[in-house]
Amino acid sequence: MSLINEQQVVLALGATDRHDATRALAETLVATGRCTDLEVFLGDVRKREETMATGLPGGIAIPHARSAGIAEPTLAFGRSADGIDWGAKDGPADIVFLIAAPEGASEAHMKVLPKLAKALMKKEFTGALREATTEAEVVAIVEAEVGDIAVAPAPTPAPAAAAAPAPEPEAAPEAPAASSGLTLVGVTSCPTGIAHTYMAAEALERAAKEAGHTMVVETQGSAGATPLSAAQIAAADAVIFAHDVEVRNAERFAGKPIVDVGVKKAISDGPALVSQAVAKASEWRTNPDAAVAAAPAAASSGLASKVDKKAGIGTQIRQWLMTGVSYMIPFVAAGGILIALSFMLAQIALGENGAIEIVNYNLTSDDAYNIAQNFDVLSLTSWAALLFVIGGAAFGFLVPILSGFIAFAIADRPGLVPGIVGGSIAATMGAGFLGGIVTGVLGGLTAKWIASWKVHKGVRGVMPVVVIPLLSSLITMGLFITLLGSPIKALSDGLNDWLTSLQGGSAFVLGLVLGAMMGFDLGGPVNKVAYFFGTAGLAAAGTATDAPALTIMAAIMAAGMVAPLAMALATTLRPKLFSEPERENGKAAWLLGASFISEGAIPFAAADPVRVIASSVAGSALTGGLVMVFGVTLRAPHGGIWVLPLMGGFLWFLVALAAGVALMTSIVLVLKSRDKKLETVDAVATV
């Protein structure tokens, strides 16, 4: 079966923009029966374009997508006399290949499309397409390079033109050139694994060959990946990663000099990447300490960040913060679910006051509340207390882990010690998440600065394990304890004072303000200031039954539940607006939101901060204001739905919560429907 036919060739593509051009080419696939749902396919192509424009250097565009609207792997070709802007830096595209693949295409079928991607890197191929005068000529040029799709295995060997060659990594590398040629290896990957993955591999292999080097590239794409062998990696002088999704099994390359870039960089400037790899290999040969210093970090296999060192400072700061958040999320999930289960068991074991009573259990007191000394395997209360203590311990790591991995994103492994210890001190001083951010950035920058020092070779060996952690910790914690910690804590205290001054005004306005704060940074410093304002009010209320603090606590808890519940509902109602990791996070967010764990919405805010946070602030503010108006009261500082029996007017609590969740869900779905750009959680999240 031919990948392309004359009906799927448009030699005079009259469209003036890429969306119209894509539609015109897609309509040819509908006419030949290869596209069964035009709008679904066009939506998938647009979604792919929003992830990364598919215009390439040299006047080429390759819009492409996997789609449920495609029946079989196929192509459409268009040629524009005036050119169409497709996002390439060097100008418009006059050659357009629309590449379409079914969602469930077999590996055998998908091997054909990478052949086209590699062919597009050949100037003789694109030149022939520009000179073609008939549709039949274009089809012949493409088929000569790509061949046909083998529908089923034949009992006898297929003709050479129809056989899909094995992926490049299966071939053994040629011997290095006798002169100064090096042995290089690489890995390429892109979000769909159809085109850029293979074009990047072809560009790198060509550039290496032209420079007199040997290179083998592992393509982690749609046609499957044949991993580089251990022998190939061991023999490599340097490695090039050209990828927009995480490299699978990257720990295999530990101890090798690595050039790490986006996949389009390899397509547009392969020779420069090869030169960088050669330079790194030379540096490592002349400076063995570079390899020694890099080996421990590479061997940590699970620790990685997606920080673009060449991006602007604003982008890098956002990536630093999101790296910290991504490593913090598992602690939030583990601790939050354990605490939720603890409250549930406590309600059963101790009655309506169970959620309040269980928070008294610990590991240090000399009374019956010490669960380590008084655990009873047959007691439901003991099990509830055990879960609470473990969950609380996990939550105790939130600020240190956030701080530590912000520093890690800046300075790699040397930043962990000042970051984690600094975060712990920030939490101890009451500076909270804001303090953790400050210690993370300060610790990372300090460690990076010290690591850049030119020191005597006799000291180099102890720099990573003694000098850098010692000095960076001393500087970071010294500055924070003596200069920075108090002002940051004062900022939190100032916000508390401001909130206190609002109590004389409208209860609805106060609820709006507190609700908006709870929904703004989802467990961050603003959220925590509002929460601590509520819990401090509980302590001051004592045994009073009508203190305003009891209503404030109910408003804060309800508002803090809105964001995770709304995102869980949104991913259920319109799953196609969210990435696969977000849909999985949505499932967990039901329980986290019901348990008053605002951090359950952090993965969504990290991937799409503007729309999610704006929606969260609106929905949470509405809920907070309504709870204050309804006069719901609550004595428990935590617990979510598990402490409903402790509330005065819990039905109104549920009404207010439902209103806020409905508002946030509606806003976020409308905003995402208008612009379906999906940024994957792995872009910034690495766990």
Which residues carry out catalysis?
Answer: 64, 190
Distance from C-alpha of 656 to C-alpha of 664, rounded to nearest angstrom:
13
Q: Who contacts 560 (Cβ-Cβ below 8 Å, separation ≥6)?
A: 518, 519, 527, 531, 596, 598, 620
Tokens of 405: 């991995």
Distance from C-alpha of 681 to C-alpha of 254, rounded to nearest angstrom:
25
The answer to whether 618 touches 667, Cβ cutoff 8 Å, is: yes
> For the residues of 505-553, what is the DSSP string, one character each?
S-HHHHHHHHHHHHHHSSSSHHHHHHHHHHHHHHHHHTT-SS-HHHHHH
Distance from C-alpha of 491 to C-alpha of 43, rounded to nearest angstrom:
47
Plot region of 675 (φ>0 → left; ψ -120 to 50 → alpha; else → beta): beta
> CB neighbours (10 Å) of residue 506?
13
Residue 187 pairs with which residues in a beta bridge? 218, 241
Number of H helices and E strands in the chain, helices first, is 28, 10
Distance from C-alpha of 477 to C-alpha of 442, rounded to nearest angstrom:
9
| C-alpha 436 chain-centroid distance | 21
Distance from C-alpha of 539 to C-alpha of 502, rounded to nearest angstrom:
19
The answer to whether 553 touches 637, Cβ cutoff 8 Å, is: yes
Closest to 243 measured CA to CA, from 229, 230, 228, 259: 259
Q: What is the CA radius of gyration of the chain?
A: 29
Distance from C-alpha of 397 to C-alpha of 414, rounded to nearest angstrom:
19
Distance from C-alpha of 598 to C-alpha of 314, rounded to nearest angstrom:
26
The answer to whether 601 touches 668, Cβ cutoff 8 Å, is: no
Q: Strand 93-102 vs strand 64-67: parallel, antiparallel, or unpaired?
A: parallel
> For the residues of 454-472, what is the DSSP string, one character each?
---HHHHTTIIIIIHHHHH
> CB neighbours (10 Å) of residue 377?
7
